[in-house]
Amino acid sequence: MRDLGRRKLRTTLTILGITIGIWALVVFGSMANKINALVEGGSTYFADKVSLSADAGMGGFSSAPMPLATTDLVAAIDGVDVVVPEVMLLMDDEMGAMSMSMPPMIQGSVAGSDEGRETYDLRYAQGRALTAADEGNQVTVLGSDIARKLDAGAGDTIDLRGVEFEVVGVLEPTLTAPDQTAMVPFGAAQQLFVASLPPMVREGVEADAVSTSMTVYPEPGVDPDALARRIEAQLPDVTAMSGQDFDEQIGSSMAILNAILIGIALISLVVGGLSVVNTMAMSIAERTREIGIKRAIGGSRLRIVRELVVEAGLIGFIGGAIGLALGALVVTLVNDAGRSSGTVLFDLTTGTAITAVLFSTILGALAGFMPALHAARLDPVSALRYE
């Protein structure tokens, strides 16, 4: 091992090659992780339920008004168990469309109106959950990213679209939509929503009769996807989205993005890997005479291959560890910078970190193996004469 330190330049170059590849793997892998977490969070969130929005809407973030009366129409449909009307609106009109991740949202529904059907588990870092008793009060529970961005905790007063709200709770990070959500009582959300509408539209809308979306919990044994189709058939103005729809729409486009990211990471890794194979082969070829001497004075082939492979694996490990450290640095810096604007791009998981270092170690060892085997199989005299 002391050998490594005494062959500085070549070793440094090899390590650098691995470092770059692993750096890319860590950074892009973390980005892919984040996307996966979003998709999976969505999948979990939408599983076993159907989300309704007004037909004019633009998918998940839509904020077209939907008469509250629709609730009764939906509830009458076969297979519907519970209907929870909600109001969703952008926290900030300028934000959103341009942002890569989910924009900050205000969300309101009557606490407990899901009758215990919601299985998505929210945990509270501070304070408490909203209750039905909060209706009529200007109180809010903040998602972790919003709380950080506003630098607000339980007990603070914040401003949501020009209205003051008291923070009563802060959520633990979920790595998905709730992180970017401020939850308020249903009535408060209705008021904010109507105030956000353009004056022309506002005329005909009454705050206490409006919602923007509804969550439908099917009766036990009813297929959410079939129910979604049935609702759409019976209520032409309504778009119904089941977990399956989510997976198909959002999931598949995210999967493509994901594949692109992983692809970039793999390409940089292959390029890095080839340069490692190259430098490793050159550095071992350079040492052919030295290997010849060792073989001549009685070093066995096995032992020489083992020495070289262990050394190459160590080079891979060091390169991988440095690449991981640099990748983690970038991920942390970019995340910290993005957090204030609510854009958290990366999620560096333990799995990604371990994979990266393991991969580089194995890559190094493999890159060393072939040339090592070749050199160890030369007869000692040819190796000694090698130029």
Partner 1 sequence: MTLLDGRNLRKTYRLGRSNTVHALRGVDVSIESGEMVAIIGPSGSGKSTLMHILGLLHGPDLNHGPRPELSFGGRDMVELGEGERTRIRAREMGFVFQDFNLVPTLTALENVALACDYAGIGGAEARTASLAALDLVGLADRAGHRPAELSGGEQQRVALARALVNRPKLVLADEPTGNLDSERSSEVLATLRRFNREHGQTLILVTHDQEVAAACDRVIRMRDGRIHEPAVPAPIALRPAPALERASA
* Dist CA 87 CA 176 (whole Å): 19
Helices (H), 47-133: 70-75
DSSP-derived secondary structure for 327-342: HHHHHHHHHHHHHTTT
* Dist CA 225 CA 75 (whole Å): 16
Q: Of residues 292, 316, 364, 368, which one binds partner 1 by CB under 8 A?
A: 292
Residue 379: CB minimum distance to partner 1, A: 6
Q: Does 10 bind partner 1 (CB under 8 A)?
A: no
Q: Specify the stretch interacting with partner 1 by CB under 8 A; choose among 110-118, 189-197, 251-259, 294-302.
A: 294-302
Do residues 51 and 227 make contact, with C-beta atoms less than 8 angstroms apart?
Answer: no
Q: Does 37 bind partner 1 (CB under 8 A)?
A: no
Q: Of residues 108, 265, 295, 316, which one binds partner 1 by CB under 8 A?
A: 295
Q: Does 297 bind partner 1 (CB under 8 A)?
A: yes
Q: Of residues 111, 117, 290, 373, which one binds partner 1 by CB under 8 A?
A: 290
For partner 1, which is the closer residue by CB, 2 or 123? 2
| Stretch 365-384 residues interacting with partner 1 (CB under 8 A) | 379-381, 384
Q: Of residues 117, 161, 289, 339, which one binds partner 1 by CB under 8 A?
A: 289
* Dist CA 29 CA 22 (whole Å): 10
How many residues belong to the site for partner 1 (CB under 8 A)?
A: 20
Residue 376: CB minimum distance to partner 1, A: 10
Q: Does 285 bind partner 1 (CB under 8 A)?
A: no
* Dist CA 348 CA 125 (whole Å): 22
Q: Does 111 bind partner 1 (CB under 8 A)?
A: no
Q: Which helix (H) or strand (E) holds 139?
A: strand 139-142
Q: Of residues 164, 236, 298, 350, which one binds partner 1 by CB under 8 A?
A: 298
DSSP-derived secondary structure for 281-292: HHHHHHTHHHHH
Residue 295: CB minimum distance to partner 1, A: 7
Residue 293: CB minimum distance to partner 1, A: 6
Residue 13: exposure state from Cβ atoms within 10 A (0-12, 13-18, ≥19)? middle
- Collapsed DSSP state (helix, strand, coil) of residue 1: coil
Q: Does 300 bind partner 1 (CB under 8 A)?
A: yes
Q: Of residues 301, 338, 355, 378, which one binds partner 1 by CB under 8 A?
A: 301
Structure tokens at 3: 């050998």
For partner 1, which is the closer residue by CB, 273 or 292? 292
For partner 1, which is the closer residue by CB, 131 or 300? 300
For partner 1, which is the closer residue by CB, 223 or 379? 379
Residue 300: CB minimum distance to partner 1, A: 5
- Collapsed DSSP state (helix, strand, coil) of residue 121: coil
For partner 1, which is the closer residue by CB, 245 or 311? 311
* Dist CA 157 CA 350 (whole Å): 37
Pairing of strands 80-90, 124-127: unpaired
* Dist CA 278 CA 368 (whole Å): 10
Q: Does 100 bind partner 1 (CB under 8 A)?
A: no
For partner 1, which is the closer residue by CB, 219 or 379? 379
CA-wise closest residue to 113 among 182, 215, 207, 213: 215
Q: Of residues 42, 294, 318, 363, which one binds partner 1 by CB under 8 A?
A: 294
Q: Does 299 bind partner 1 (CB under 8 A)?
A: yes
Q: Does 205 bind partner 1 (CB under 8 A)?
A: no
Residue 367: CB minimum distance to partner 1, A: 20
Residue 287: CB minimum distance to partner 1, A: 9
Strands (E), 175-248: 181-184, 210-211, 213-218, 238-242
Pairing of strands 80-90, 213-218: antiparallel
Residue 5: exposure state from Cβ atoms within 10 A (0-12, 13-18, ≥19)? exposed
Q: Of residues 257, 293, 345, 373, which one binds partner 1 by CB under 8 A?
A: 293
Q: Which residues bind partner 1 (CB under 8 A)?
A: 2-3, 6-7, 289-290, 292-301, 379-381, 384
